[in-house]
Structure 1
Amino acid sequence: MNAPVATDTGMIPASALMEMLWWIHQRARNKSVYNQTWPLKADRPLDFDALRVAWQTVVDRYEAMRASLHHRDGAIMVSVVDHVEVEPQWIETDDPGSTPVEPLLRSIAGEIQERPLALDVAPAARLVAVTVGDQHELLVTVHHALVDGWGMQLLMDDFATAYEAAVAGEAPVFDTEPVSFREHILSSNAARTDGRWDASLKYWREKLDGAVTTTLVADRHTYTGTGNKGGMVRFVFSREAVDGIGSLAKRYFTTPFSVLFAALQTVLARGGAGPEVCTGLVSANRMTPQDQALVGYLANVLVTRTVVEDGDSFGTVVERVRDGMWASLAHQTVPFSLVYGALTESAQARLRDAIPILVTWYGSIGVGLRLGDAALKLQRAPNRAARTDLGFGVFDFDGEYIVESEYNVGRFDHSTAQRLFQDIDRILAEGGIDPELPVGTIEVRSRTAPAYLEHTVTTAELDTTEMPESAALDQVRRVWTEVLGTPPTGADEDFFATGGRSLKVVQLASAIEAESGVTLDITRWLTEPTPRRAAEQLAGDVEADDGSTLVTLRDGDGPHLHLLPGAGGTVRDYDELVAGLPPGWRVTASQERAPLDSIPAMAARFRADLDAEGLRPDLLGGWSMGGQIAFEMAATGQGAPPPVMLLDSTPPVRHDIPREVRDAVVYQVFAENMAATFGVTLDGTPARTTPGDPELSMRVLAARLATASGQPVSVAMLLERWATFNRHTDAVGSYVNERPLAASALLVRAELTEQQVDQWTAQFTEPPRLVRVEADHYGVLRAPVVTEIARAVDRLRVTATRST
C-alpha cells in the first residue's frame, strides 16, 4: 500500500489555496468532496504491468504526487518525500450476469470516487483498473488540494508517455523537466508579504463592496455548505445553442465561455436575482508558461458581479461579461481565502465564504487521451458530494458543449438544476439569432434569489405524523417511510411490529447513512428498534451500553428457550421462529456487544450473562454458528445439559480447506446473503479485487447491490457486517469439540450434507431427531418451514421433559 519512504525534503507552509482546501476537507461531511476522479473508458484491454510501471513513473516525476499536508501548531504544512512506492488496484468481473454493465461501471466509479484520500499520506491519489465483462475503464483519482484539472491533463499526458515506454520495455523520454511544485508554493507564500498582491487585494475590496451572491431558490430548507450529498446533471447543449455561442463569440470578439457565462447571468437575473448577479468563476490561474507546465493546484475562485437590466440587449450583457471577466482575470492570482479575509465584516456577511454557484471552463481537458494503442474516453463525473449549492463545468468536445453539474441534493431537486441549463440553452439559441433581443422579454423557468434568503418550509410540505420535533427524527421518519412504505405513528413504534423484518434492517441502515452521513449501529439499535433510538444515534445522544449480551425476545412463564446468534446475524433473525412457538414460552437471546473470536469465548461470555440474571434455560439453540455455540454451552456447563436445537449448523469437526478457497467461498456466501437483504440475486461470476483490501471488495459489492436493487447501500455497514461475518466464519471453521454430548437434540437440515449429518450424529450419545426442510440456509428461519421447526422445538421440549 502507499507508504512514504526515504527522505523528507523538509516541511514548508502550504500555499493559501492548498490551506483553504485542507480546512474545507476537514469540515466536509463527505470527505470525497474534493476528490477528482476521471473515469476513462478504454476501447481495448490495458496492460496492467505497464500501468504499474507508468503510475510509479509519474509519481516519481511530480512533487505534487509525492506531497502531503499536515496540521502543525495551527498551520498547514506541506511535506514532499523523495520517493513513495505505489501500486494500482484492480477490479474484475468476468460475467456481470443480469446486472447492466454501464450502470454498474458508473456505480463502481462512484464508490471509488467516494473512498476518501488521506491528505497526510503521499500520494493523495489512486489508480484503479476495472474490467466488467468486455468493458474496460481506468479510474484516476487525485485530491484537488494537490492537483487541479489542468494538472490532471498534464499528468495524463506524461502517464501516456510512460505507459507506451513500459509496454515496449523501455525507459520513458519526456520533452521537458518537471516544474517544481515546491518552488511554486514558496513563491506564492512570499507574495503574501512582499506587496505583489496589494493592488489586487485593493481591486477586490472595491469590487466586492456590497456584493450579495446569487443562488437558485431552494426546493427544501437545508444547510448550504461543502460536502453535503450531491447529485449530478449532465446536459448537452442543443445544436441551436452551439450555433448561437459561435456566432456571438465571433461578433463580440470573445470566448465561447464568456457567452455561456453571460447566458447564465441573464437567466439568474430574469429568475429574480437582478439587476445585479453575483456568482463564482473558477479560473485556471496559470499566467506564465511555467505555471502552464506545472502539475499542482493553482485553480482559484473569482467572484463576478454583472449588472443585467431588463432594457439591456443580450448582446450588451455578453459585452459586459466579457469586459468584467478580463478585468477580473488580471487579478486572479490572489487566493480567494485571502480576498475574503481582507473584506469588511459586513461585506463578508453579505458575500459568505461558500459561493453558492460556481462555474468552471474545462474546454478540451480530458479529450483525445490515449494509452498506447488504446483510446480513452472521459465518462461523466461520478461525484456524490456537492461542493456548494450548484457547481458546473463546461467541456468542449469537438464543438459539442457539455455541462456536468453537481448540486446539493438536500436543497434542490434534479429538475431544478436541469431547468437552469434548459433556460441557458434557450437564451443562447435565441440570442444567437437576435443579439439585440431585450433581456426583459426573455422568459425563464428558473427562480433565483440572493444567497442569504433561505427557503421557508410551508405546512403543506411537512408530514403531519405526530412525533416530537427533531431534525434527526425527521430524517429517520423520511427513511422509515421510504423503506416500509408507511410513516411511523410515533417515536417509539417498533420497526418489526409494523412490517419490518431483518432483511429490511440493512436497507434502513443504508438509507439512513445516505440521508444523514451517520452509520447506524445496528446491533445496538436492534435492542430497541424505534425511530427515537435511531434518531439518538444520528444526534450523537446514545448513552453508554451496559455491556450485557442478554436480550429478551418474549416474556412468559412457560418453557425457556435461549437462542444464540448465527454467523453475521442478529437476534431479530429469530422473530418468525419466536412467533411460531406456543403461547407462554419465554425466549431470550444473546447478542455480541464486543467482538469475540472463538466459539468457546462466545459460549463463556453468553453463559456468564445468563448466570448474572440467575437464568438456566430449558433449551439452547441456534441457527448457523448459533448451533455450535449452543452445543459448546451445553457441553461445558454445570449440571445436566439442556436439550439442544441445531438449525442447519455445521458440525464441530476439523476442516482442511486452503485459505484462498475458504476466502472465495466465504465472500460468495456473504455476497449472496447481502443480495437477499436487498431482494436481488447476483448472478454471473463473483467480482475479484486487489487482495488484502476488504474496503475495496465491499465498495465493489455495494456497487453491484445498488445497481441491481436501485437502493443506496452503505459501505460502512457492509464493512461492519463483513468483519463480523468473516470473524464468525473463522470461529466456526476452527471450532472442534469431539466429546459426545449426553443431551436430547433436534437437527434441522437444509443445506447440510449427508456426511455432516453423520458427523453431528456422532457428537451425541443418542442420535438427534432429524428434520429435513425444503429451504436454503437462510430460509430455515422463514415461512413456511419455520412453522414446522417451531412445532419440532416444542416436541423436543416435551420429549426432554418426559425423559427427565
Structure 2
Amino acid sequence: MALELDELVNELQTAQVAASADLYAMPATRGQVRFWSLDQLNSGNPALNMPLMWQCDGALDVAVLTRAFAACVERHESLRTTFLLRDGQLMQLIHPHMPVPILLDDVSGCLGEERRQSSDRITRDHAAFRFDLARGPLLALRLIRLNESHHLLLVTMHHIICDGISNGILMRDMLEFYEAGVRGVAPQLPELPIQFADYAVWHEDWCNSEEHERSLDFWRNTLGRDAAPIALPTDADAPEHLPEHKKNATGDIQTLLLPSDLTQRALAYCAREGVTFNVLLFTVFSAMLSRATGRRDLTIGSPCANRSEETEELIGLFMNIQVLRAFVREDMSFRELLDAVNTWTLAAVEHQALPFEDLVHDPYFRGDNSLEIPIFFLYQKSFMVARRIATAEGSIHITPLRSESPGAVFDMMFAVVDREEEGPRLQLEFNPQLHRMDTVRGYLRLFVELMQSGLEDPTTAVDQLPVVSDEARAVVGRGSSTHAPAVQRIAMQESTVDHQRYIAPRDVLERQLAEIWQTTLGIERIGVESSFFSLGAGSLAALRLVTRMNRTFSMEIGLAGLVGAPTIAAVAGLIRRRVSARSESSLVALKPEGTREPLFIVHGVGGNVISFYGLARRIGVDRPVYGIQAQALLPGKPALLRMQDLAQFYIAEMRALQPSGPYHLLGYSFGGTLALEMARQLRAAGQQVAMLGMLDSRTRKFDEEQRSGFSTQEKAHQRVDRLRGNTETLSVEARRSYIASKLHTRAIRYAAAAAATLGFRTLPAWFKDANEINLVAINRYVPKPYEGALMLFRARDQDFPNAALELGWKDVIRGGIEIREVDGNHERLFLEPGIDALAAYLNEALR
C-alpha cells in the first residue's frame, strides 16, 4: 500500500508534457461545450454547420487540391480534432493525422436544367452533412464537376472547430498551398506561434482569474434585471409558400445589397460623429426591431471576434457572444440611440473575453432574470475574396459564392457582410417554416429605409422615422401584435413557480438521485418534480449531472435523455425500467420477446450490461436477448474468484431459462474469454453450442506479447500520461480523492489476488468490486483448447494495428475462426455507425 502511494505521488509530481506524435487530449472551451451540447440534443444537427462554396474556373488540378487541403489539416490542429466526454468534462482530442477526402460528383454529362438541379441538390445535401463529433473529421469536402474547366468546391466545417474568420483563413491557406503545389515551390506561410488547444488552456486559466470575476460583475451591473426575449411574429401559412425542394427546409438566407450612395453617406456620417460603421449598423438594427415588434426594451446578441495578435491566424472557435440591451424611449432620437449603442459597445469590448456561457449560467441570471436571446446581429468584413492563380495550363479563377443555409439556429440572424467587390450586403438567415419570404424582404427593406431616414435627419425620433415601401410598412404593421408574448412569458413563469412546489423524495432511489442533483448543481434542496431546466443550471452542469448519474446507475442517459426526463422522478422511472426484475439473478432481459433460442451476451470486465441494450434491440424480432451481468454485482452473495466457477454459475442460470441447447453465446472483451469457458463446459456436458461469438476479445498471452515490445521507459511514460490525463484538470483535493479511490480499488485487487493464491474461491459479499475481481479471475486463467468454431467481431481500430487479425485465438480455437471487422474502436462497438454493422453480422450468424 505504501509503495503504491509513493508511486502514484511520484507520477503526479514528475508528469511532464512531452512532445509526441500521438493523439493527446486538452479541455474544451466553453464555446465548444455549447455547440457539443446542442449537437447532443440532435446528433449531427446540420444547423451547426458552416458551409462554404467556391466557384473554380479554369484547369483545376484535383490531386494538388487534395494535397493543399491535407496541408491545411496538418497546419491547423483544429481540423484534426474530435471530442470526447470524460468524467463529466468535454475534451478535445487532437489527432496526429486525419485524412479528409474530397468527394467528386461529375455532372458534366447532364444538360442544362438537369445539370443545375443536380448541382443544387448536391449543394443542399452537403450543407446538411451530419458530422460525428466523436469520430471526425469535422471538415467535409466535395467537388462538383460541371465541365473540364468549371467546378464548384463545397467546404463545410462544424462550428465547434471554427468561426467566420476561420473560413477566410482556410481559404487563404489552401490557396497558398495550392499555388505552391502547381508551381512546384515552397508555400509562403509563416509558422503558427500557437495552436487552438494552447489558447484553450490559457482561456481556462483566465476563467479562474480575478479579471474573469470583474467582467462578470460588469455584465451583471450593465444588463440589470428582467431582460425579456424579443418575440417575432410568425407567418402561419409560411410552409404553404415554399417550393417543393424546400418543403422540409429549416433554414434559408435572403440578402439585399445596400445602395452604394447610402453606404458612402453612412461612412461620412460615422466620420463626423466619431463612431464606427458597426455601431451605426447596430443602431439601425435596434431601430428596426423596435419598429417591427413594438418593443422598447431590446436584448440582442452579437458575435464578436475575440481574437488577439497571437490567435489571428488560427482556425478555431474564438468567436464569443456579447449582449446589447438597448432602451428605445418614446421620444428618443436616432442620434440619441446611436450614442447609447456606442457607449455600450465601447464598454463591452473591454469585457469580450467573458464566455457567453458563464454569463447566461451565472446565478444572477437564473429564474425570472434568465437571459434568453433569440435575435442576433453581426457586422463583418468579408473574409472570402476572389483570387486568380497562374498555372502552366493558363490560370484558374476562384470566387466565393453564397452558400446554402443548413438550418436556422436562432429566430433571426441578421448580418451585414462587407465585401470589397460590392460593398455591404444585408443577409438575414431565418426559418422558412416560420416566416414567408415577403416578410423577410420586408425586414431588409425596413432596415434600408430607417437607415436612409436616420441619416437624413438624425434628430428625428426613432418612432417617427419615415417608412415608404409597402413591404417595409407591412412589417411595421405587425409590431403591435408582439406585446402579448411578453405577458405570456410572465404568466408562464408564475405558473411554473406554482408547479415547482417542493416534493420530497419518496424512496431510496429518489433520495440517491436528489443527493446527486443537489451536490452536482450546488442547490440545497431540489424536489423530485422540479424540472432541471427551471433550476438555472447550464450545459456544463448538465454534463456533470448526466455523467454522475450514468456512472452511479450504469445508465447512458445523454443530454437528450435529460430533455425527455427532466425531473428526479422521471429519471428514477428510467432507472427502474432498466433494472431486471430478477434481482437475484445475473440474467438481464434485454429483449425477452421472441420464440427462438435466446442469445446470451456476457458482460465485460466492469460487469454491467447496459451497453448491450442498443445491440439487443437490433437483433431479429424472433430472437430473445439476455445479458449476463457480473456475479459480483449480485447483492449479498460472495464473489467468485475463478473463471471456471463463474462459467458454471452462469450456465446454471442459463439452463434455468433454457434447459437444453442449442446455445448461442456472445462475450464482450473479458466476457469473450468467459463465454469460451462456458461453451467448453456446455460441450463437455453434451450440450450443443450453435454459436460462440466474441466482441473484440483478446487472449491475455496476446496482450502480453504485444506490450513486450515496449521499453520500460515507454511503459513508464504511458503510465505517467494516463495518470496525468486523469488528474491534470483536477484540484489538489480532487487529486487526493482520485489517489484514495485508486488505492481502494487496488487494495481490493491485491486482496482478491492474495485470496486466490491461497486457494480461496470466493470473497465476502461486503468486499467486492466487479472490475478488480474479474481482472484477478482472468489473470489466473489459462484457456484450454476448444474444438468448436469462433465468430470473432473485431474492432477495426486496434491498439496494435499490425498485430494478428485473430487477436491471439488461433492456438486455442480448433474449429476455425471467422472474423468480421466493425468500424470503431474497442469502446465504440456499441455506438453508431458500428453497431448497425455489428447487428447485421450477428443476425446473419444467428440464422
How high is the TM-score relative to the length of structure 1? 0.53
Equivalent residue, structure 2, for 1:79: 93
Q: Which amino acid in the other structure matches residue 104 of structure 2?
A: W
- How far apart are residue 451 of structure 1 and its match? 10
Q: Which residue of 2 aligns with 1:536?
A: none
Query: Measured at CA, do residues 380 and 14 of structure 1 come closer, stay the same or move farther in structure 2, by a change above 3 Å?
Result: same
Deviation string 1:321-372 (CA, Å, 9 cap, x unpaired) is: 12211211211111111111114355665522xx211122221211234555
**CA distance in 2: counterparts of 1:369 and 1:315, whole angstroms:** 40
Give the distance between the partners of 2:48 and 2:483, measured in 1 at CA: 26
Q: Which residue of 1 aligns with 2:195?
A: 180
1:51 is displaced (CA, Å) by 0.5
Alignment counterpart, residue 368 of structure 1, candidates 365, 383, 386? 386
Find out whether 1:219 has 2:239 as its counterpart: no
SS in 2 for 1:331: coil
Q: 1:244 offset after TM fit, Å?
A: 4.1
Cα 1:188–1:371 change in 2 (3 A) is: farther
For the residues of structure 1 that align with 2:457 and 2:313, how far apart are their CA atoms?
A: 41
Q: 1:130 to 1:188 in 2, by over 3 A?
A: same
Q: Distance in 1 between matches of 2:226 and 2:375?
A: 18
In 2, the alpha carbon distance for the partners of 1:370 and 1:139 equals 18
**1:214 partner amino acid:** I
Measured in 1, the distance between the counterparts of 2:59 and 2:262 equals 37
Look up the match of 2:316.
Answer: 296
Indicate conservation of the 8 Å contact 2:44/2:131, yes or no: no
Q: State the number of aligned residues.
A: 459
| 1:258–1:322 Cα contact (<8 Å) kept | yes
Query: The residue matched to 1:298 in structure 2 has which SS?
Result: coil
> SS of the counterpart of 1:402?
strand
- Over residues 30-60 of structure 1, what are the superposed CA-to-partner deviations in whole Å (9 max), with x where a residue is unaligned? 6111111110112224210110110110101
Secondary structure of 2:399's aligned partner: strand
Report the alpha carbon displacement of residue 103 of structure 1 after superposing the two structures with TM.
Answer: 5.4
Matched residue SS, 2:458:
coil
Instruction: Report the Cα distance in structure 2 between the residues aligned to 1:450 and 1:338, rounded to whole angstroms.
Output: 30
Q: Could you tell me how far 1:165 is from its partner in structure 2?
A: 1.3
Conserved 8 A contact 2:228-2:486: no
CA distance in 1, matches of 2:54, 2:206: 38
What CA deviation, in whole Å up to 9, does each residue of 1:691-746 have, x standing for no partner?
xxxxxxxxxxxxxxxxxxxxxxxxxxxxx9xxx9xxxxxxxxxxxxxxxxxxxxxx
The aligned counterpart of 2:438 is 415
Instruction: Give yes or no for contact 2:76–2:314 (8 Å, CA) kept in 1.
Output: no
* Secondary structure of the corresponding residue to residue 377 of structure 2: strand
Shift of 1:108: 2.0
Q: Aligned ranges for residues 513-528 of structure 1 at < 5 Å?
A: none
Secondary structure, aligned partner of 1:51: helix
Letter in 2 for 1:283: C
Question: Are 1:20 and 2:30 matched, yes or no?
Answer: no
- Are 1:192 and 2:207 counterparts? yes
Q: SS at 1:11's partner residue?
A: strand
Matched, 1:429 2:452: yes
Please name the residue that 2:403 is paired with: 381
1:342 to 362, 366, 373: 362
Give the structure 2 partner of residue 307 of structure 1. 327
Mapped partners of 1:72, 1:451: distance in 2:
44
1:278 aligns with one of 277, 293, 299? 299
Q: Does the CA-based 8 Å contact 1:28-1:228 persist in structure 2?
A: no
Aligned 1:788-799 pairs, distance under 5 A: none
Which of the residues 101, 126, 138 maps onto 1:112? 126
CA distance in 1, matches of 2:81, 2:368: 32
- Deviation, 1:413, is 2.1
Partner of 1:232: 253
Query: What is aligned with 2:276?
Result: 255
Match of 1:136 in 2: 151
Q: Is the 8 A contact 1:359 1:391 kept in 2?
A: yes
Q: Offset of 1:211 from its aligned partner? A: 1.4
Partner Cα distance (1:168, 1:185) in 2: 37
Q: d(CA) in 2 for partners of 1:396 and 1:544? A: 62
Counterpart residue type for residue 165 of structure 1: A
2:192·2:314 contact (CA, 8 Å) conserved in 1?
no
Tell me the secondary structure at the aligned position of residue 381 of structure 1: coil
Separation (CA, whole Å) in 1 of partners of 2:347 and 2:483: 24
After superposition, give the CA deviation of every residue in 1:117-140 in whole Å (9 maximum; x if it has no partner).
221234310222211246321111
Distance 2:439 2:593 in 1: 45
Aligned letter for 1:337?
Answer: E
Q: 1:229 to 1:265 in 2, by over 3 A?
A: same
Superposition RMSD on alpha carbons, in Å? 3.5
Deviation at 1:416, TM superposition (A): 2.2
Partner of residue 126 from structure 1, selected from 140, 146, 159 = 140
- 2:181 paired residue number: 166
Q: Distance in 1 between matches of 2:484 and 2:278?
A: 24
1:99: which partner in 2? 113
The letter of the residue matching 2:435 is F
Q: Using a 3 Å threshold, how does the CA distance of structure 1 residues 252 and 168 change in structure 2: closer, same or farther?
A: same
Alpha carbons of 1:67 and 1:407: their partners in 2 closer, same or farther (altered >3 Å)?
same
Query: Structure 1 residues 18 and 378 mapped into 2: Cα distance closer, same or farther (>3 Å)?
Result: same
Higher relative contact order (CA 8 A, sep 6+): 1
Q: Which residue pairs with 2:610 in the alignment?
A: none
Gaps of 5+ in 2: 1-19, 239-247, 468-472, 490-590, 596-618, 622-835, 841-847
* Structure 1 residue matching 2:113: 3-state secondary structure: coil
Matches of 2:49 and 2:299 in 1, distance apart? 26
Displacement of 1:454 after TM fit? 9.5
Q: Is the 8 A contact 2:227 2:369 kept in 1?
A: no
Output the CA distance in 1 between the equivalents of 2:488 and 2:384.
37
Q: In 1, are the aligned partners of 2:107 and 2:119 still within 8 Å (CA)?
A: no
Deviation at 1:191, TM superposition (A): 1.7
Instruction: Give the Cα separation in 1 of the matches to 2:592 and 2:284.
Output: 56
Mapped partners of 1:259, 1:117: distance in 2: 38
Residue of structure 2 aligned with 1:317, choices 327, 333, 337: 337
CA distance in 2, matches of 1:29, 1:221: 29
CA apart distance, 1:251 = 2.5
- Long gaps (5+) in structure 1: 1-5, 457-542, 548-592, 596-719, 725-804
The amino acid of 1:310's aligned partner reads E
Deviations 1:421-459 (CA, angstroms, capped at 9, x unpaired): 110011112222222222121245244547954999xxx
Which amino acid is the alignment partner of residue 181 of structure 1? Answer: F
Q: Is the 8 A contact 1:214 1:273 kept in 2?
A: no
Question: Which deviates more, 334-343 or 308-317?
Answer: 308-317
Deviates more, 1:120-129 or 1:333-342: 120-129
Q: Give the match's secondary structure for 1:167.
A: helix
1:364-763 maps to which residues of 2 (within 5 A)?
Answer: 364-370=382-388, 373-398=395-420, 400-442=423-465, 443=467, 444=473, 445-446=475-476, 447-448=478-479, 449=482, 453=486
Structure 1 CA distance for aligned equivalents of residues 179 and 483 of structure 2: 52
Q: Secondary structure of the residue that 2:24 maps to in structure 1?
A: coil
SS of equivalent to 2:197: helix
Q: Which residue of 2 aligns with 1:37?
A: 51
The CA distance in 2 between the partners of 1:342 and 1:336, in whole Å, is 10
1:359 aligns with 2:347: no
Per-residue deviation at 1:594?
Answer: 8.2
- Which whole-Å CA distance do the structure 2 matches of 1:165 and 1:85 have between them? 20
Change (3 A) 1:332 1:101: farther
- C-alpha displacement at 1:172, in angstroms? 2.4
Structure 1 residues 410 and 54 mapped into 2: Cα distance closer, same or farther (>3 Å)? Answer: same
CA shift, 1:242, in A, is: 2.3
State the alpha-carbon separation in 2 of the partners of residues 65 and 236 from structure 1. Answer: 33
- Residues 29 and 419 (structure 1 numbering): CA distance in 2 closer, same or farther, change over 3 Å? farther
Distance 2:259 2:288 in 1: 17
Q: Is 1:145 the counterpart of 2:160 in the alignment? A: yes
Task: Tell me the distance in 2 between the aligned counterparts of 1:243 and 1:312.
Answer: 25
